[in-house]
A = this chain, B = another copy of it.
């Protein structure tokens, strides 16, 4: 049975991106550093067509995350950083070039219709204008027995969380204070509510918190 999962790196003060994102610095000031631990791992490098990389706890966690996901949902801003009509978007092809690291179906939430794009390595981008529930249905159909990742950004994760669609959270808390930026949890509706830890894993550089949302 597929689960709907969020898997994301945050700063100790709860930010998934720093302030002032640009095309050159899509995660804002200091935001890219949240992912230093990811970029260092062998499984992440493999999925990006790169050699080398570290093995160990962080790598195992990344490998698990990659292996279990069969389809991804993301927001338009995570896809390209843009908004509005596609023809006006300077990054309309997305951040990842000809061979994106997903290697499965990716559903992009947008208000602007666009034909699907097939990339190398098994990644397809499908643009969904019917809202978060429609995108999730398509992703679940595409994922088979695997899970659906709600990748981001924070606003999209909050929409799915507030709609009650998220089953699992894996939050990688990096030991950094960003001070400002985009918070993972902001104005969560239906709060307060309790989650359940399914695991807390320490590595040398990150605290991996695994939680389940009771239904």
Question: Interface of A with B (CB < 8 Å)?
Answer: 11-14, 18, 29-30, 33, 171, 173, 175-180, 183-185, 187-197, 199-202, 204-207, 209, 211
Cβ contacts under 8 Å, A30 to chain B: 191-192
In the complex, 14 of the A-B residue pairs with CB atoms within 8 angstroms, ordered by the A residue number, are: A12-B209, A13-B184, A33-B192, A33-B194, A173-B209, A175-B194, A175-B211, A176-B194, A177-B185, A177-B191, A177-B195, A179-B190, A197-B207, A200-B207
- Contact flag A12-B207 (CB < 8 Å), given A176-B193, A191-B178: no
- In the bound complex, CA of A183 to CA of B211 (Å): 21
Chain B residue at minimal CB-CB distance from A176: B194
Chain A, interface SS category: loop
Chain B residue at minimal CB-CB distance from A206: B197
- Contact flag A192-B14 (CB < 8 Å), given A180-B187, A200-B202: no
Of A13, A178, A189, A205, the most chain B CB neighbours within 10 A belong to A13
- The listed residue (B179, B192, B204) touching A191 by CB distance below 8 A is B179
Asked if residues A179 and B200 are in contact (CB atoms below 8 Å), the reply is: no
Asked if residues B33 and A195 are in contact (CB atoms below 8 Å), the reply is: no
A179-B190, A200-B200, A200-B207 given. 7 additional CB < 8 A pairs?
A: A12-B211, A176-B195, A179-B189, A180-B191, A197-B205, A197-B207, A199-B202
- In the bound complex, CA of A178 to CA of B188 (Å): 8
Chain B residue at minimal CB-CB distance from A179: B191
